[in-house]
Amino acid sequence: MRARDIDKENLVKQKAIEIIGKGGFESFSVNKLAKACGISVATIYIYYKDKHDLLSQLATEHGHLMGQSMLHNFDPETSFEVGLRQQWENRYRYMIDNPTISLFYEQLRTSPYQEQFLATFKADAYEPFTKFSENIVARGEIMAMPLEVYWSVAFAPLYALVKFNNEGESIGGKPFKMNDKMLWQAFDLVVKGLKK
Amino acid sequence: MENFDHILLFKTDIRSEEDKQVLQPVLDKNKNIEQWNVDLDDEDYVLRIISYKLRHEQVIELVQHQGYMCTELK
């Protein structure tokens, strides 16, 4: 008799993220995944109907996880600086603690599963983040501007630093490791730039 | 403990939508099959059958009769 095994299921999910993060969706197969987990292909097909089912469950689960991690201790009613600081803190910790997940997200972005991932993420996080943006404009803390302009200034510096860090090198292949001091230095500049 | 003995898995050479359509009438009309699908996106072309009555050998015979390779996935 075959039985469900939560540890095995978690291993399958973890390995799937690693394989996709490294090689993308194109080269991903259930067979490869089973080998990486040291289990049989059949075991994976007990849990999942097919490869599409596996990948789409993975995308949905990670949409939720990302939403939850970004909302950790975040209060849309706080001031611009406090709220943005928490968002930086959350995103930074999440990406630094899970370097494999960042690579997986990058692959996800150009995959057919991105839409599903975002839909789940938005269902959790859209409301608080929208409320926050409305509040800070209504209170006159920042100017009204297109969301894309706001995002580029507010978050792109963070993602650039984390990317350098996770790749271990920065511009022109210079070895790089990020620290908290650099994080908050960049953050202060962002706040300075956005605050009215 | 949850039991999964009703999920029967096979490695096949059912590689395309056309191949799948060849098998569809046979599998659809079998009253002992609750659900079935073939993973056309993956390299083992796994046939997954939900059945509380059929044994692996019976499915293998059914599929091979239609001219396709079919072995139990262990």
Say if B46 falls within a structural domain: yes
Say if B1 falls within a structural domain: no
- Nearest neighbour of B41 by CB, restricted to A41, A46, A51: A51
Q: How far apart are CA A184 and CA A190, in angstroms?
A: 10
- One CATH from 3.30.70, 1.10.357, 1.20.120, 1.10.260 for A49-194: 1.10.357
Q: How far apart are CA A82 and CA A187, in angstroms?
A: 11
Task: Answer whether A40 sits within 8 Å of B39, measured CB to CB.
Answer: no
Task: Answer whether A30 sits within 8 Å of B44, measured CB to CB.
Answer: yes
Q: Is the Cβ of B73 closer than 8 Å to some Cβ of chain A?
A: yes
Q: What DSSP string describes chain A?
A: -----HHHHHHHHHHHHHHHHHHTTTT--HHHHHHHHTS-HHHHHHH-SSHHHHHHHHHHHHHHHHHHHHHTT--TTS-HHHHHHHHHHHHHHHHHH-HHHHHHHHHHHTSTTHHHHHHHHHHHHHHHHHHHHHHHHHTTSB----HHHHHHHHTHHHHHHHHHHHHTB-GGG-B----HHHHHHHHHHHHHHHB-
Restricting to B residues 22-41, those with a Cβ less than 8 Å away from any Cβ of A are 37-39, 41
Which pLDDT score, from 0 to 100, does residue A34 have? Answer: 97
Residues of chain A with pLDDT under 50: 1
For residue range A136-179, what is the model confidence (pLDDT) as tens digits?
999 999 999 999 999 999 999 999 999 899 889 999 999 999 99
The residue extents of the domains of chain A are 49-194
The count of structural domains within chain B is 1
Say if B2 falls within a structural domain: no
pTM, whole model, 2 decimals? 0.83
Please report residues of A whose CB lies closer than 8 A to that of B37. Answer: 49-50
**Gyration radius (Cα) of chain A, Å:** 19
Q: What is the mean pLDDT of chain A?
A: 93
Query: Which token pair is A115?
Result: 């839409």
Cβ contact B73:A46 at 8 Å: no
Distance between B2 CA and the closest CA of chain A, angstroms: 6
For residue range B4-52, what is the model confidence (pLDDT) as tens digits?
899 999 999 999 999 999 999 999 999 999 999 999 999 999 999 999 9
Cβ contact B42:A50 at 8 Å: yes
Say if B16 falls within a structural domain: yes
Please report residues of A whose CB lies closer than 8 A to that of B7. Answer: 2, 45-46
Domain span including residue B25? 7-72
Which pLDDT score, from 0 to 100, does residue B25 have? Answer: 96
Confidence class for position B1, pLDDT limits 50, 70, 90: low
CATH number at residue B24: 3.30.70.100
